[in-house]
A and B are shown apart, each in its own frame.
Chain A
């Protein structure tokens, strides 16, 4: 808990929190623009597919991309704070556990992505009311906030690993952007890629296709395994 508290103080006056809030805000704004621009077409879709599918077919893809890019940026920022100021040496001179520091930073990213995805769901609810689509689908909105977030655990652990181990953030961020493009463009991703799970999760939330327990189980297992592997290897490294 102390680690978490002292870690959070470091992000005051940085882009970390604004970005977390800006993400969902932009997401909702784009939803509004999308509907405002093609209201007639959306109405046709709503009649044909039902409101949930019509709204989420487009927004779901957008949210996946937002999560993937947001994870890359946030993971890079929380580790770069230490790289940039050469603070690792000072930090590790204190009686703190190295792997504890590493895992704390991952927990921070996990928390920030949770905030962002809850806000995105709330924004979707707002969009729903604004469009007058009927009673709010509470359960689906709740699942929208939580399932893709859990499915992002392996991605968070992976981007954290890159950002922590490679000082130059260009690499982690380029990988993150390239991965997002892969997630958006490839219809069928190889299952072992960390970008595949949030997409599968979103497909389940939107249309009910797929096995949600498998997705959740795999995400937690792979996320924890990657996080622990990263923490162990980070704890053994020389501080630069």
Chain B
């Protein structure tokens, strides 16, 4: 694991932090600006649903693609992949470290939303906020976004452009607008699952599930999608030719 830790440290150093922070701040910022006045909302639950709708439905799945494209950017510029992979590093470690950072950034995004919810609840004085459900919802949203991030990493390492992988992500995220509203499709459409996961603990079904998702959704769509896309991207990256 020594090699992995070194690669991870190097990857963290290469990040453009000011820009990353800026992108990170947009999601919670949108939630804060667009959800409307918390005082007008129907209690904390109403406010939480508003935040999740604004932030989780479209923005969160798409921003996973922005992070994945950002983390591959240094290498796509001026033949960086060749320089990086000419060093005595394992390709497997490079890919895993990059994916781990994307996953961590997506987790930080959820934590920022949590902080936003906390600050708003404090200032408005919502009574009896069910923080356990909030935590479960945000965790569920993060777990559901991991497979999407894995697919985006795959696309971002293969395509040199920023727009290509992101276009793919946008096109796939779009149907989520409708898929989430449908009882039948909501549990199966991967790009709708982050918002489903965030809403589930408050949708009155939490008693039925031991986690934010039904076991079938969790095992087949989320774990299956993650395994498929991560392995696919990793194998393609370790065995494939270097691009650019």
> Does A15 sit at the interface, judged by CB under 8 A?
yes
Contacting residues, chain B, for A186 (C-beta < 8 A): 34
Interface residues on chain A, number (Cβ under 8 Å)? 34
Of the listed stretches A69-77, A119-127, A146-154, chain B binds: A69-77
> Does B73 sit at the interface, judged by CB under 8 A?
yes
Q: How many A-B residue pairs have CB under 8 A?
A: 92
Contacting residues, chain A, for B177 (C-beta < 8 A): 30, 62, 65
Contacting residues, chain A, for B34 (C-beta < 8 A): 181-182, 185-186
* In contact, A80 and B58 (Cβ under 8 angstroms): no
Within 8 A of A (CB), among B121-176: 160-164, 166-167, 170-171, 174-175
Contacting residues, chain B, for A80 (C-beta < 8 A): 161-163
* In contact, A170 and B161 (Cβ under 8 angstroms): no
> Does B63 sit at the interface, judged by CB under 8 A?
yes
* In contact, A77 and B53 (Cβ under 8 angstroms): no
Give B145 Cβ to nearest chain A Cβ, in Å: 15
Of the listed stretches A134-142, A172-180, A194-202, A227-235, chain B binds: A172-180
Within 8 A of B (CB), among A23-70: 23, 26, 30, 33-34, 37-38, 62, 65-66, 69
List 26 contacting pairs A-B, 8 Å CB cutoff, sorted by A: A15-B161, A15-B163, A19-B171, A22-B171, A26-B174, A30-B174, A30-B177, A30-B178, A34-B178, A38-B182, A73-B166, A73-B167, A73-B170, A84-B76, A84-B77, A84-B161, A170-B69, A170-B162, A173-B163, A173-B166, A174-B23, A177-B62, A181-B30, A181-B34, A184-B58, A186-B34
* In contact, B182 and A37 (Cβ under 8 angstroms): yes
* In contact, A14 and B161 (Cβ under 8 angstroms): yes
CA distance A173 to B66 in the complex (A): 8
* In contact, A76 and B162 (Cβ under 8 angstroms): yes
> Does A207 sit at the interface, judged by CB under 8 A?
no
> Does A97 sit at the interface, judged by CB under 8 A?
no
CA distance A134 to B178 in the complex (A): 26
Most buried by B among A19, A84, A170, A171: A170
Contacting residues, chain A, for B70 (C-beta < 8 A): 170
Majority secondary structure of chain B interface residues (helix, strand, loop or mixed): helix
CA distance A33 to B189 in the complex (A): 13
CA distance A184 to B58 in the complex (A): 10
CA distance A26 to B176 in the complex (A): 12
Contacting residues, chain A, for B174 (C-beta < 8 A): 26, 30, 62, 65-66, 69
Give A25 Cβ to nearest chain B Cβ, in Å: 9
8 smallest CB-CB distances across A and B, nearest first, come from A169-B162, A77-B163, A15-B164, A76-B163, A177-B62, A73-B167, A185-B34, A69-B170
